[in-house]
Homo-oligomer: A and B are copies of this chain.
């Protein structure tokens, strides 16, 4: 049974910054989607910010198993109404994978409840991503660590809730560390934050980054879990006399 994946990109840098479009001529969503399309059992489409309803009408969301999110310069342009629907859909079971600068996306901050702030620096320093939880499915097929020769630095304190499972921690040449792969259960859904992916760098062509994203997609896919009932349940399951 094929999983429906949607790769969302704000798709602005690519239109205005030649250094970005040189690397991602069809948008970085296509670089990610192209790789995922080669993986078995995934049906992959894309969506972008400037489409109607930010590319994510309910008709799309309701049939999406896992949504991948990349945004950076235009977080503010995502409609509150879109964020409301996204949050609702994640809590109903849709997986969400937030990449890199999506730490500051409205949907990630909404789901985390914290500022999601961090330190950053853009000098193209080396990042080494260490696997901390080797039995986790997101670590499948990876080595003890993998390196990105040039990346933007993100450093702690990363103002997030402690992840339910911490899979990756990054070392940066400039002296910082960062929790780079963070798994969360939220509602019936699952969220994965994955750090790498500055828009001026070919990070989304890196085979380890791609593998981690593909792994995360499978981990984040909905399970056929319980349908909850919430609210007033006046009738006890057991035989109990009302009081007084």
Q: Are B225 and A131 in contact (CB under 8 A)?
A: yes
C-beta contact mask, A173-198 vs B, less than 8 Å → 1, else 0?
Answer: 11111010000111111100000000
Which residues of B are found within 8 Å of A128, using beta-carbon distances?
175, 177, 237
Each complex incorporates copies of this chain amounting to 4
Tell whether, in the assembled complex, residue A176 and residue B130 are in contact, meaning their CB atoms are under 8 Å apart: yes
Distance, CA A112 to CA B233, complexed state (A): 24
Residues of B within 8 A of A124 (CB): 242-244
* CB–CB B226/A143 < 8 A: yes
A140 interface residue, CB < 8 Å from B?
yes
Contact across chains for B223 and A136 when beta carbons are under 8 A apart? yes
**Cα-based distance from A155 to B230 in the complex (angstroms):** 9
Assess whether A224 is in contact with B113, with CB atoms less than 8 Å apart. no
Cα-based distance from A191 to B186 in the complex (angstroms): 17
A93, A153, A177, A184: residue with the most chain B Cβ atoms closer than 10 Å: A177
Contact status A236-B136, CB under 8 Å: no
What residues make up the interface of A, taking CB atoms closer than 8 Å to B?
Answer: 87, 91, 93, 110-115, 117-125, 128, 130-137, 139-144, 150, 153, 155-157, 159, 161-162, 164-166, 169-177, 179, 184-190, 222-238, 240-244
